[in-house]
Homo-oligomer: A and B are copies of this chain.
Amino acid sequence: MDRPGIPRPSLGRLPLYYRFLVQAGEAGRAVVSSDEMGQALGLPAAQIRKDLSYLRELGRRGVGYDVGVLLDGLREALGLGHQKGAIVVGAGHLGQALASYAGFSVYGMRIVALFDDDPAKIGMWVAGRPVLPMHLMPATVLRLGIQLGIIAVPAWAAQAVADAMVAAGIMAILNLAPARLSASQGVWLEHEDLASRLAALAYHVRRRAETEG
């Protein structure tokens, strides 16, 4: 029963629409058009309509999108219905930055705990979140029903952490360590490699310099 699912690039844009709508709602807007969203986000209006068409029919022809209706639709599509918890493994600078990061709350997401094996870090509190020893991770995940995990450890430790997360029942993982990991079939795994992003950026610098020279 494999429903087609939302294409990856579209899915990546839905959270942007969501955040825009939250802000529009706070600003008192009741209705917005794909054109207006496109202007604000720097995307073609046709692309936004196409993306939203993968959800239910949420707009009104001739009128636009009701902010509340579209927010509900996006919440439903993304599975942000209830407050969602996430854990971070690795309580170094990056892990601490994530725990302190306010940006997750718009989406009703919250880092609930950090895990690390460094005795110097265990017992710390970061932005109100405890740093716990790794061996408590499975029980915490189980007890709190956590489904999302973020890996913020060095590359050499990352695969072991991913394995532990999978064993603990985590359903989706965002890996920030500079290593390509694997996870069993049913678990969704994505990589974000900031150093590689920066290295790719250097290409455009060189390219630009050439055009001028």
Contact = CB atoms under 8 A, between A and B. Distances in A.
Interface of A: 1, 5-6, 11-12, 14-16, 18-19, 40-42, 77-80, 84, 86, 92-94, 96-98, 100-104, 106-107, 109, 147-148, 150, 154-155, 171-172, 174, 178, 180, 182, 186, 188, 190, 192-209, 211
A101 B180 contact: no
B78 A199 contact: yes
B148 A107 contact: no
Contact of A192 (B1, B86, B197): B197
Given A12-B196, A103-B194, A180-B16, A79 B205 contact: yes
5 contacts: A15-B195, A40-B180, A42-B180, A78-B203, A174-B201
Given A79-B205, A206-B78, A15 B199 contact: yes
Chain A facing B: main interface SS: helix
A178 B97 contact: no
A5 B107 contact: no
B101 A195 contact: yes
A202 B40 CA distance: 25
A45 to B, nearest CB: 15
A202 B148 contact: yes
A206 B77 CA distance: 9
Nearest to A206: B79
A198 B186 contact: no
Contacts of A103: 155, 178, 193-195
A36 to B, nearest CB: 14
Contacts of A182: 42
B107 A172 contact: no
A104 B201 contact: no
- Max chain B CB contacts within 10 Å: which of A84, A202, A206, A207? A202
B97 A41 contact: no
A30 B128 CA distance: 50
Given A78-B202, A86-B198, 4 more contacts: A77-B203, A93-B96, A98-B194, A107-B198
